Structure 1
Amino acid sequence: MSKKITAESIKELRKKTGAGMMDCKKALEASEGKINIAIETLRKKGLALADKKCNRIATEGIVESYIHAGSRIGVLVELNCETDFVARQSEFYKLAKDIAMQLAACQSVYYISKYDIPLEILSYEKNIEVQKEDLVRKTPEIRDKIVEGRIEKRLKDLCLIDQAFIRNPEITIDELVKQHIALWGENIKIRRFERFLLGEGLETKKSSLNKEISSMINNK
């Protein structure tokens, strides 16, 4: 006998996945009420649908901000969608706020995806890895594989979409966005962001000013 699907379990699944009510109900029925299996089913379905929409043009959206407690860290992020209707949804604002909060928490992140990383950064990271002492005695084939793996990991550390979502570490930011693409049936893009750290760069300016003053004194 199949397990009865309750309204509470449907609401719980919707809260965890962002999927529609009917999709949640069908997933729970197919999994005989096992919510973990239903989540996996909806996640796979959502990612498949999202992949089909990721190349569509998204020119609407919002610019959202997040200021961390103490007002020492602030983030601005532009999140795009296809229509003004989706841009006005409270869930869309929440998604933008969550992404901005993620950026405040992950200060080692400088790019949205690996495709945004400049070639000079890639070359720099590769040169560092190639010269590490533990690779000296490795054969070229093994060394190249190790370097490739390390570079891949390093690039993920630099990219926003590869980060585990701070509110739900079981999914990445990429999966979070794709869940919302599946929810609204529109493409969603994180276009750009800016992070502000209180006092960042001031020490460098102070040092430069001191050098300038010293130079003026020595030239007298």
Structure 2
Amino acid sequence: MAEITAASVKELRERTGAGMMDCKKALGETQGEMEAAIDWLRTKGLAAAAKKAGRTAAEGLVGVAVAGNRGAVVEVNSETDFVAKNEQFQEFVRTVAELALTGSGNVEGLLASAWPAGGGTVEEKLTSNIATIGENQSLRRSAVLQVNDGVVVSYVHNAAATGLGKIGVLVALESNGDKAALETLGKQLAMHIAAANPQALRGEDLDPTLIERERSIATEKANESGKPADIVSKMVDGAMAKFRKENALLSQLFVMDNKTKIEDVVKAEAKNAGAPIELTAYVRFQLGEGIEKQETDFAAEVAAAAGKAA
């Protein structure tokens, strides 16, 4: 009988999507044999047949591309970080980012775009890659920024290759000033955005759901102080003002000096550019953000389950 370990339970869970207790029971019923355990779960209706398209793709690459007054950023996911180092995969992400420059940021439209050199569509190329590389992959999202007069600057943090990495940023600066000065400012702002991860351009643009959640937390904390209701209200208002300031790009403190607000950095640079500058938009894609990818201490989880079962 093969030993039933936390690692084997984890593997079975990842391969079948079944619950931890069901996986532990399946291994027990099959003397720890992995393939037999998979079949046992399937016979009980607790797991589907393993399919590449059903596995979570939370690794991969973010790709950026800029041409003229437009910039694009895309996220293409894979199952493992190993695939992100694959030249075929990298070339796919790079090409998709370039194709996105002509679109609107709509993923469906991008998937339907023609692949260069008569290779069908982007979606067909992606399907071919899944078959040849052997892992599920998906074009998850895309965004495009454009200015009338100015620059769109891109930045990739910890680049795996030119224009490819785990965090990609676009910054749109509207101005008829010196383009070299705008490019320098844009790169500095993009690096700040990569590090500081603002949630919106301005405080009033923050997601209402996020604001409501933070207000609820602030209220609960303030109520624990035992102070009168009017003081609690002021405490909550103060906490929310601080939250907006720290999470809106224009009011964040520049990471390079930690004392100047971003909006003041932009105003100051207008002198070097020789014209007013408006930071009109930004996009920040971080690989895998928002994808449910549970990290669990399986040893502790299995031990706890064993205790309950005993």
Q: For structure 2, list consecutive stretches of 5 or more residues without a partner in the other structure.
A: 1-146, 160-164, 295-310
Over the residues paired in the alignment, what is the CA RMSD in angstroms?
Answer: 2.5
- Greater radius of gyration (CA): 2
Q: Sequence identity of aligned pairs in percent?
A: 30
C-alpha change, 1:115 and 1:187, in structure 2 (3 Å) is: farther
- If asked which structure has higher relative contact order (CA below 8 Å, sep 6+), I would say 1
Deviation at 1:63, TM superposition (A): 1.1
TM-score, normalised relative to structure 1: 0.57
Q: Does residue 178 of structure 1 match 2:178?
A: no
Aligned to 1:104: 194
Post-superposition CA distance 1:179-201 (Å, at most 9, x none) = 12345563322222211222334
TM-score, normalised relative to structure 2: 0.42
Aligned to 1:143: 232
8 Å Cα contact 1:135/1:143 also seen in 2: no
Aligned to 1:188: 277
Aligned to 1:78: 172
Number of residues of Structure 1 aligned to a counterpart in Structure 2 = 143
Q: For structure 1, list consecutive stretches of 5 or more residues without a partner in the other structure.
A: 1-57, 206-220
Partner amino acid for 2:276? N
Q: Does residue 155 of structure 1 match 2:271?
A: no
Deviation at 1:146, TM superposition (A): 1.0
Alignment of 1:29-40 (within 5 A): none
For residues 89 and 180 of structure 1, the distance between their equivalents in structure 2, rounded to whole angstroms, comes to 12
8 Å Cα contact 2:245/2:252 also seen in 1: yes
Post-superposition CA distance 1:138-193 (Å, at most 9, x none) = 11221111111111111112111222212222312111011123455633222222
Partner amino acid for 1:75? V
C-alpha change, 1:130 and 1:201, in structure 2 (3 Å) is: closer
Aligned to 1:32: none
For residues 235 and 290 of structure 2, the distance between their equivalents in structure 1, rounded to whole angstroms, comes to 35
Match of 1:92 among 182, 187, 199: 182
8 Å Cα contact 1:74/1:104 also seen in 2: yes
Alignment of 1:194-209 (within 5 A): 194-203=283-292
C-alpha change, 1:126 and 1:198, in structure 2 (3 Å) is: closer
Match of 1:130 among 219, 226, 236: 219
For residues 272 and 229 of structure 2, the distance between their equivalents in structure 1, rounded to whole angstroms, comes to 47
For residues 126 and 203 of structure 1, the distance between their equivalents in structure 2, rounded to whole angstroms, comes to 25
3-state SS of paired residue (1:190): strand
